[in-house]
Structure 1
């Protein structure tokens, strides 16, 4: 998950909403020298992920002679959105852009997009072939606004060898807050801690959903615009009370906000349990090597909380409406290509992200990969076991990046002993609500 967000980004971008229109008639179509319609795709997949993107783009370009896709890395998600803002009113912007999931409300309010539902309806595209719990996040006001691309959710990673040494059943991992706390005590010895969880706002959002709790009002911002944060609800207080108790008991290690730090502590054997994205699984298993056996378990929840599930994270693809219709249609052809089982299998195997197409699991390459990394079955089961409702669809708010940072500050205040869970979350809730109110005033009715 890419997660560094610049303060005030979406509020600043909201100020340009009135500058955008839905016609795209003033833009000149991009055409290659050999007469293909050119699609410029801005994305935020760096490193090995970029290699996977480039492979898929080449496969598509080589497969036909009508459309040519040029993939351009634009930095992390917030940087890419800043560049999108700067391109408005010019001919320098993309045809299609990848945006993180917490940018969904802004992208809709911006009037910048042609909803994917438009192309689905026009081309009789069968949405039932896609994972319901994945497209559910991006389905707002009964229409699919963007096509999911890179999708993940969080799971518990644990050291099976340490479990066995501590007298715990390595094949029966903890699934509740209470079981995690108990296991952490048994796993703590000689300077090694039972657990370490990064103070990452995404995890807090997931703990809410896993308790069936909504993060903002108005149906998690899906029935109508959210106007109030619900961060200080029982779900938030119970989560941070549990987390803080493990820190106080010295059975969990506080390593700050970065998942890279908790990941390193886990793969080195310093801690026996951690939380991380499903997309990190292959990297974690490869980093551990033969030092110990990696186990995986669903995201824990309080005992008795059985109405929840996980929210998909990651990003999706938006087609911009200020480009000519021929260019938008060309982008849709590329999206159709990306959602085919073969391409989804390649993407999953080389990145660790979920396939969004159900039939991809029937591909021999994925079956072979699942045999090599059986831990991923936890992620698949967790996704499929989640009941889609307002809590598990995920919250929508135009200031989500800022809200996540404010949440992380509150988490730090609790873990570092500066405030009680009730006080920290109440203060954060008030601040987020104020920012939501400011944003909503900028939205064109």
Structure 2
């Protein structure tokens, strides 16, 4: 290929992914990732490891505390944690650093960036370090590590992990003549409960924010894959399956809830949905498990918050939830001894005590199974018993290609397309099938263009 042809190919790839998250493929070329070599000569003083993350607000302090604890536990490695803004901001900055020496050693990346990170050829798979160190990966929650595993290889280490659950107002349930100890499990049961709450005149029955993640979850809960080729896991995805029977069933149900005033439509912002729930204006919402502590705290003194599994059709195939959140990726342009030092830090983060601290202070799942044996986790469950729902839902999910979650290079953009389709349906501009057919066609086109640029 000539120089102009190669330049055009690289620029096409950059433009595809930048549409959604402002990142390019860097200049790492086809360099094969190698594991850090044991016994590499250390530089004078502690080995520096740069960790870029996107944990803002109160979570920034939690990250900083874990880093400080690690740095204080030994004197050979010093980790510097740098907050880079939102996930998209971080991804944009990572793009700018690729091909330079200014980037991180370890970077946090949201789950929908996984396909891109692999295709970038800029990372060293975590599996390399696991194999070299004979580290026991069975200590990880399989339904969490499963997302980041392709072809039997764990590419990144799970970090902050959540999944969606149903939150409901027990007081509104009682006022509507419903049993607060028996939350709805199916679409029909949720519709009946929402109708009863709306008819009570005290609140609207339900609200679901227009969030593409929810559509992915509601399909996986029916055992349905979001894209073809084993959800992009047996080979690279080439087509969206958004318009499958499962997808149409979700959107038909959702549309009926809004049309019958059993639910309302507050738009795309999940914060608006949470605020309406906390104010007692809606009886049920779908939201991340990471929001549990905040929702329970905001309802204190006003009403009791209940939690239940993500609903599904009564005749749904076996399914479950897909983990959301982000994971840690090792950049392969850093020296071997620096990568080895970063691996030591990552192992520290996976320990049961650190994972217990992370879970209790952020609301994210521990990725280590043994973390649930820690006293602070047990005490936290007594304070927030609603979180048991999230734990049980995660553990009862059967890991398969549907519940592992989809992987595709244009995932951020696909979510935006899905949200546009949901809006069209809820605003009565298109039928569920029409909107999902059009969205699937558009996503498929973008997937196929992306695939051409990475072959």
User: In which range does the TM-score fall when normalised by the shorter chain?
Assistant: over 0.9
What residue number does 2:99 align with?
89
- The secondary structure found in structure 2 opposite 1:157 is strand
Map 1:235-274 onto structure 2 (within 5 A).
Answer: 235-274=246-285
What residue number does 1:105 align with?
115
> 1:17 deviation in Å?
5.8
Q: Deviations over 1:287-307 (max 9, x none)?
A: 111100000000000112140
Superposed CA RMSD in Å reads: 1.9
Map 1:127-166 onto structure 2 (within 5 A).
Answer: 127-166=137-176
Equivalent-residue separation in structure 1 for 2:426 and 2:276 (angstroms): 18
Equivalent-residue separation in structure 2 for 1:89 and 1:388 (angstroms): 37
> 1:21 deviation in Å?
3.2
Whether contact under 8 Å (2:109, 2:329) holds in the other structure is yes
What residue number does 2:393 align with?
382
Equivalent-residue separation in structure 2 for 1:11 and 1:98 (angstroms): 16
Determine if the alignment matches structure 1 residue 338 to structure 2 residue 341: no
Q: Deviations over 1:239-284 (max 9, x none)?
A: 0100010100011010001110000000100000001000000000
Equivalent-residue separation in structure 2 for 1:284 and 1:110 (angstroms): 38
- Tell me the TM-score normalized by structure 2: 0.93
Which segments of structure 1 move beyond 3 Å, counting only runs of 4 or more? Answer: 9-12, 16-25
Whether contact under 8 Å (2:21, 2:92) holds in the other structure is no
> 1:9 deviation in Å?
4.1
Whether contact under 8 Å (2:17, 2:409) holds in the other structure is no
What residue number does 1:295 align with?
306
Determine if the alignment matches structure 1 residue 125 to structure 2 residue 122: no
Determine if the alignment matches structure 1 residue 181 to structure 2 residue 181: no
- The secondary structure found in structure 2 opposite 1:8 is helix
- The secondary structure found in structure 2 opposite 1:137 is coil
Determine if the alignment matches structure 1 residue 321 to structure 2 residue 332: yes
Q: Deviations over 1:370-390 (max 9, x none)?
A: 000000000000000000000
CA 1:99–1:366: 2 relative to 1, 3 Å:
same
- The secondary structure found in structure 2 opposite 1:418 is coil
Q: 2:322 aligns with which of 305, 311, 325?
A: 311
CA 1:279–1:112: 2 relative to 1, 3 Å:
same
- The secondary structure found in structure 2 opposite 1:173 is coil
What residue number does 2:430 align with?
419
- The secondary structure found in structure 2 opposite 1:282 is helix
- The secondary structure found in structure 1 opposite 2:146 is helix
Determine if the alignment matches structure 1 residue 41 to structure 2 residue 51: yes
CA 1:286–1:124: 2 relative to 1, 3 Å:
same
Q: 2:243 aligns with which of 226, 232, 246?
A: 232
Equivalent-residue separation in structure 2 for 1:58 and 1:220 (angstroms): 39
- The secondary structure found in structure 2 opposite 1:214 is coil
What count of residue pairs does the alignment treat as equivalent?
435
- Which blocks of at least 5 consecutive residues in structure 1 are unaligned? none
Equivalent-residue separation in structure 2 for 1:95 and 1:269 (angstroms): 45
- Which blocks of at least 5 consecutive residues in structure 2 are unaligned? 1-15
